[in-house]
Structure 1
Amino acid sequence: MRQRREVTRRQVYIRRLSTIQASVAFISVLLGFAVSGSAGALSSLLGVALAVTPNGLFIARSGVLNHQIRASQSAKRLFRAEMGKFGLTVVLFITVFLVVPPSNPAFFFCAYVAVVLTHWLAPWLMPKHRPTN
């Protein structure tokens, strides 16, 4: 029962984080379009996609939403998921700069950093722990 509550708490966190990331992505694409037209919007969109895709892989592979994983398995899965996230990030950066170089790298990197830094909002996104007596 306790594990299911933890999974529910994680689901709420992931939903809230995804909402904040989508908001940041939308604002960055709008700013890119307002300042530099469609080229700026495309550069921002590439940065957002490059930030969000590895996070999705991490959530899917880590098992943070599965309450049936034991602690010994959990540490291994988290490590593998983080390695996969890092590797995918490197591959995506190489692919973006070789195949579709952003026309405005400033918007690309600003959007990427803004989406990645939304994890710093985690203390405000997490539901409060309420001890039961």
Structure 2
Amino acid sequence: MGARSAQLKRPKVFRIVGLQALVTLLISAGCFLLADGVSAYSALLGGVVCFMPNLYFAWAAFRHQGAQMAKQIVKSFYKAEAVKFGLTAVLFALVFALVRPLNPIYFFLTYAVVQVVHWLSPLVIKR
């Protein structure tokens, strides 16, 4: 067994975030076609507020790999989750403080759908 076989595959978290981004774009495009521009960018912002913190988490939490880095891995998971939570709160605050007009129904519905995509992604993305 060589060094190549001993390496672990990285988790497919970036595929999950990519799926979230794709669903965000599809919902936003659907809102643009079926409703109006305000609904479309409200939906887009709802998806972005959901998947951008997940993108940060995926990048920060999975930087380290291997048994030698076990302590760093645990620390990076805790730090990444804390920053993800803070980033989500900041993004929500920025959207509601700066974006006028905003359709909150499309914003929250898209946020919820993109979050559910994260939960159901193991069914979509094969291991």
Q: Alignment length, in residue pairs?
A: 122
Residue of structure 1 in register with 2:64 after alignment? 66
TM-score (norm 2): 0.82
TM-score (norm 1): 0.79
Residue of structure 1 in register with 2:41 after alignment? 42
Pairwise mapping of residues 83-102 of structure 1 onto structure 2 (< 5 A)?
83-101=82-100
**In structure 1, what is the Cα distance between the partners aligned to 2:18 and 2:81?**
22
Distance 1:92 1:86, change over 3 A: same
Q: Report % sequence identity.
A: 33
Residue of structure 1 in register with 2:78 after alignment? 79
Secondary structure of 1:6's aligned partner: coil
**In structure 1, what is the Cα distance between the partners aligned to 2:22 and 2:74?**
31
What root-mean-square deviation, in Å, do the aligned CA atoms of Structure 1 and Structure 2 show?
2.1
4+ aligned runs moved over 4 Å, structure 1:
none
Where does the alignment leave 5 or more consecutive residues of structure 1 unmatched?
A: 128-133
- Which segment drifts farther, 82-91 or 114-123? 114-123
Distance 1:78 1:101, change over 3 A: farther
CA contact (8 A) 1:55 1:85 kept: yes
Aligned partner of 1:5 among 3, 8, 18: 8
